[in-house]
Amino acid sequence: MPIKVQNNLPAKEILENENIFVMDENRAIHQSIRPLQICILNLMPIKEDTELQLLRALSNTPLQIDITFMKMNSHVSLNTSANHLNRFYNTFDELKENKYDGMIITGAPVEHLPFEEVDYWQELCEIMEWTKTHVFSTFHICWGAQAGLYYHFGMKKYLLPEKLFGLFEHRVMNRKIPLVRGFDDIFMAPHSRHTAVSNEEIHACKDLIVLAESDKAGVYLCMTKDGRQVFVMGHPEYDRVTLHNEYIRDKNKGLDIKIPENYYTNDDCTIRPSLQWRAHCNNLYTNWLNYYVYQETPYELNEIHGE
């Protein structure tokens, strides 16, 4: 699938070296088809890493996607250069008149804070409300999923006894739903979080369908019945070494961090970890784009309306 990005986005060269088809703005203007308009609200601290991970995950269908990156106006990012943000990102105020086929709201390293104490919470609430009328399907990841469940359904997060960190088995709960079409009965997915949302509350919500769950990690994937909101509690987009880098970072800081579960061979962090989740990650994003964005969204984006 050709992904259309800004001409000089650093991730573009990396993806091209991986033999992933990335189309720049100059080539895209000569195409006569309407690409899917996807907005990514990137709340992660090192934004270039998340850009690369998500663009790689979105690169596996024949659909053409036009990517727009959004940043928070009410938060100053300390881990990504202002030059990068100014060149490749727009604020909500600059984009709120637009409509999008799909939107991704990423995780964020703020789970130790109550939602209302996050400095950009009010702006995020405005964005999540805006998605109801300006985005056809919104895909929430990790903390973004917890924030979405709290805002839309009033579900509170709670602190886990210890960090949920590593690769965990999940089982498909409802194979008839297209979002998990092609999934194995049991699949692996990464998690890295200190908080969770009650499994019981999610199962009891009449507006949600649970699609995948783990004995250890809890509900992994759920969505509204109309597919307009998707919630993923883990990080399917993570690269091979993302958990490794997090582990080494925290270990070097002297933090009380356990080795990520089911990740290293013999729990030996000097051995390059095996990539055990990429196929299901690709499948998840492909199914979302195909069945909940491309197949359902109106050709004229102005026809997107509220729920």
Of 193, 104, 209, 90, nearest to 148 (Cα)? 104
Q: Active-site residue 25, yes or no?
A: no
Determine the Cα–Cα distance for residues 111 and 159; give it in Å rounded to an integer. Answer: 9
Q: Active-site residue 205, yes or no?
A: no
List, in sequence order, every beta strand (DSSP E) within the chain.
3-5, 22-24, 36-41, 65-71, 89-91, 100-105, 135-141, 157-172, 186-197, 208-214, 218-224, 229-232
Q: Strand, helix or coil at 54?
A: helix
Q: Strand, helix or coil at 212?
A: strand
Annotated active-site residue in 142, 191, 213, 222? 142
Annotated active-site residue in 48, 51, 111, 237? 237
Determine the Cα–Cα distance for residues 247 and 240; give it in Å rounded to an integer. Answer: 13
Q: Active-site residue 134, yes or no?
A: no
Annotated active-site residue in 152, 170, 235, 280? 235
**What is the rounded end-to-end Cα distance, in angstroms, of the chain?**
30
What is the token pair recorded at 96?
């709120």
Q: Report the length, in residues, of the chain.
A: 307
Determine the Cα–Cα distance for residues 98 and 304; give it in Å rounded to an integer. Answer: 11
Question: Which residues are the active-site residues?
Answer: 142, 235, 237
